Structures are given as C-alpha cells and as structure tokens.
Amino acid sequence: CSKIYTKFSANITSPNYPNAYPESVRCCSRIILNDTKVIFLWFNSFNIEYESSCSYDYIFVLPGKAANQECNDAIVSASTPPQCGKTLPKPFSIQSNVVLIYFRSDDVRDGSNGYQLGYEGGRFIPNTFVVSNFDNLLIKYY
C-alpha cells in the first residue's frame, strides 16, 4: 500500500477500500509532482477508527521537508496531529510539490472502511487566490 504518485491528479485510498481495511497496516505513500508549487487535497470519504488522541488507527498528511524523510522519522517530528474518526476533513492545500501520506491501523479490526483522498497539483500565486473545481466541488484557496 506504499506508493509514489506522480500524476497531476489522482485518488489515493486505504487498503481494501471501500471495504474494511485490514489490521496492522503501515502505508507510507508520497505525492511527488514536478512543475507545481501547491497540491490541493480533499477527502471524498473518511472513516478511520475513532479514539480521542487518534492513537489506534490514523492518517497523517505531511508537507515538504517532512515528506522527504523516512516515514517513521517524519511521523515523530510531525507538527500536525494525526486524523481519525468519521468527520470528513475540510479540503486543504499544501505549498509544496511533495506530500507524504502515512496510514496506520492497529491489530484490532473494527469494520471501518478507511478513506479516499483526492489530490490535484496547481500553482500558488502570492496575495491572490486559486479557484479549483474538483469534480463539482468548488474551493477557493487564499
């Protein structure tokens, strides 16, 4: 489940999606886009076992320098918290051409089906905004 994505846009899913993901999974994927300054990301589906500190099953999405590290090192030094639960995270952008996506599940299967994460490369223009249309989802980035 660890892959490198180089296409301008794609969907990334948890293992076995849309069915329940397996236990004891460690996936470390990277988006690496040449010719782009920003990567727009959004979750189409999000169902990762909930625990208040997200210490059982979780996903990290890390930008730039962290994405160039080994997965375990990047997670230890992460400045953003892990995400879990059923609440669909808001779309976001990362001002980098490299993103690391780390998904982990513990050794207990709870029936959650994981995630589908979409991304698209773009340009960042300071002091302006970019409007992107992701499959009828209109987002303004400032």
* Residue 108 maps to a domain: yes
* Percentage of residues in the chain having pLDDT higher than 70: 79
Residue 17, domain member (yes or no): yes
- Evaluate whether residue 29 is within a structural domain: yes
Domains: count for the chain: 1
Range of the domain at 117: 3-122
Contact 112, 22 (CB under 8 A): no
Residue 136 lies in a domain: no
Report helix, strand or coil for 118: strand
Q: What is the mean pLDDT of residues 16-30?
A: 95
pLDDT tens profile 65-100: 766 677 776 666 667 789 999 999 999 999 889 999
Q: Which of 69, 71, 5 is nearest to 34 (CA)?
A: 5
Distance, in Å, from the CA atom of 117 to the CA atom of 55, rounded to the nearest integer, reads 20
Q: Which of 55, 31, 59, 65 is nearest to 45 (CA)?
A: 59
Q: What is the pLDDT of residue 81?
A: 86
Rounded Cα distance between 78 and 76, Å, is 6
> Does residue 86 lie within any of the structural domains?
yes
Identify whether the C-beta of residue 108 lies closer than 8 Å to the C-beta of residue 55.
Answer: no
pTM: 0.81
Q: Give me the half-sphere count of Cα atoms (radius 13 Å) on the Cβ side of residue 24.
A: 1
In a domain, residue 134? The reply is no
User: Can you tell me the distance from the alpha carbon of 112 to that of 22, in angstroms, rounded to the nearest whole number?
Assistant: 9
Task: Tell me if 60 is assigned to some domain.
Answer: yes
Instruction: Write the burial class of residue 101 (CB in 10 Å: 0-12 exposed, 13-18 middle, 19+ buried).
Output: buried
Residue 72 lies in a domain: yes
- Where residue 74 sits, what CATH number does that domain have? 2.60.120.290
